[in-house]
Structure 1
Amino acid sequence: MAESVLKNYSGQVNFRNLMFEEFAEAVQDIETKLIQRFGFLRKEGIEPDFEMILASVDSKGKASMYLFDNKGLAEPVHYNPGFAIIGRGTATGGVLLTRLLGYSVEESSELDLGMLSTFVIDMVSEVDPSVGPFVGESVFMRILNGEVSMGSLKVEELRKYKKRVRVRKDLIKLMQKLCDQEEIKEEGVRSKLEELRSKK
Structure 2
Amino acid sequence: MVVGRGVVVTADTRASGDHIYGEERKVYPVYLTKEGEEIDLAVVAGSGSSSLVKRSCELIKDRFLDFARQYGRDPNENEVRYLIEDIEGALMMRYYRLRELGVSEYANVLLATVTRDGKPMLYLFEPSGLANPMHEVPGYVVLGHGELTGARLLLTLLGYSPERSYHWDYSVLTAFIIDVVSMVDPTVSPLTDPMSSVYIRYDEEKGKVVMGPLTSDAFKNTKDSVQRRIEAVRLLWEAMEVAGEETILKSLQSLKEKALKKEASS
1:48–1:70 Cα contact (<8 Å) kept: no
1:185 CA displacement: 1.6
* Corresponding residue to 2:210 among 129, 149, 167: 149
Q: Larger deviation: 2-11 or 109-118?
A: 2-11
* Selected match of 1:130 from 187, 204, 210: 187
Q: Which runs of 5+ in 2 are unaligned?
A: 1-58, 261-266
What SS class does the counterpart of residue 72 from structure 2 fall into? coil
Q: SS of the counterpart of 1:110?
A: coil
Choose which of 212, 220, 237 in structure 2 pairs with 1:176.
237
Determine if the alignment matches structure 1 residue 161 to structure 2 residue 232: no
What residue is the counterpart of 2:66 in the other structure? 8
For the 8 Å contact 2:120–2:201, the answer to whether it is kept is no
Which residue among 60, 64, 68 is the counterpart of 2:125? 68
Shift of 1:60: 2.7
Q: Which residue number in structure 1 is paired with residue 245 of structure 2?
A: 186
Counterpart for residue 9 of structure 2 = none
Structure 1: runs of 5 or more not aligned: none
Counterparts of residues 1-150 of structure 1 (less than 5 Å): 1-12=59-70, 14-135=71-192, 136=194, 137-144=196-203, 145-150=206-211
**In 2: Cα distance, 1:97 partner to 1:46 partner:** 34
SS of match in other structure, 1:104: coil
Higher relative contact order (CA 8 A, sep 6+): 2
**Deviation >6 Å, runs of 4+:** none
2:124–2:131 Cα contact (<8 Å) kept: yes
Deviates more, 1:19-28 or 1:39-48: 19-28
Shift of the alpha carbon at 1:172? 0.3
Identity of aligned residues (%): 35
Residues 8-40 of structure 1 show CA distances to partners (whole Å, capped at 9, x for unaligned) of 23334x131122222122111111111111111
Give the TM-score, by structure 2 length: 0.71
**RMSD, matched Cα:** 1.3
* Alpha-carbon shift at residue 41 of structure 1 (Å): 0.9
- 1:165-185 Cα shifts (integer Å, max 9, x gaps): 11101110011112222xx22
User: May I ask how many residue pairs the two structures share in their alignment?
Assistant: 197
Contact 2:149/2:185 (CA < 8 Å) preserved in 1?
Answer: no
Encode CA deviations 1:32-69: one digit per residue, 9 max, x unaligned.
11111111111111113201100101233210000111
Higher strand content, 1 or 2: 2
What secondary structure is seen at the aligned counterpart in 2 of 1:142?
Answer: strand
Output the CA distance in 2 between the equivalents of 1:93 and 1:128: 9
**CA–CA distance in structure 2, aligned partners of residues 43 and 88 of structure 1:** 27
